[in-house]
Amino acid sequence: MPIHKTDFPGLMIIEPIVLEDARGYFFESYNQKIFETAGLNYNWVQDNQSRSTYGVVRGLHYQLNPHAQAKLVRVVAGTILDVAVDIRKGSSTYGKHVAMELNDSDGRQLYVPVGFAHGFCTLVPDTEVIYKVTDFWTPDCESGVLWNDPALEIAWPDFAGAQIAVKDAALLPLSTLDSPFTSGSE
In the chain, where are the structural domains located?
44-176
pLDDT at position 186 is 47
Q: Which residues of the chain have pLDDT under 70?
A: 160, 185-186
Sign of CA dihedral 130, 110, 96, 9: positive
Which percentage of the chain shows pLDDT scores above 70?
A: 98
> What CATH number is given for 44-176 in this structure?
2.60.120.10
Decide: residue 17, CB within 10 A, 0-12 exposed, 13-18 middle, 19+ buried: exposed
What DSSP state is assigned to residue 124?
A: S
Decide: residue 158, CB within 10 A, 0-12 exposed, 13-18 middle, 19+ buried: exposed
Q: How many CA atoms lie within 13 A of 144 on its CB side?
A: 22
CA distances to 14, 17, 24, 104, 107 from 21, rounded to whole Å, are: 22, 13, 6, 16, 16
What is the set of active-site residues?
Answer: 61, 131
Q: CB–CB of 136/44 below 8 Å?
A: no
pLDDT at position 25 is 83
Distance CA 101, CA 136 (A): 26
* Segment 71-102, tens digit of pLDDT: 999 999 999 999 999 999 999 999 999 999 99
pLDDT at position 185 is 52
Q: Are strands 24-26 and 71-77 parallel, antiparallel or unpaired?
A: unpaired
pLDDT at position 138 is 95
Q: CB–CB of 87/116 below 8 Å?
A: yes
Please give the backbone phi and psi of residue 133, each rounded to the nearest 5 degrees, phi first: -135, 155
pTM for the whole structure: 0.91
* Segment 27-48, tens digit of pLDDT: 888 888 988 898 888 889 999 9
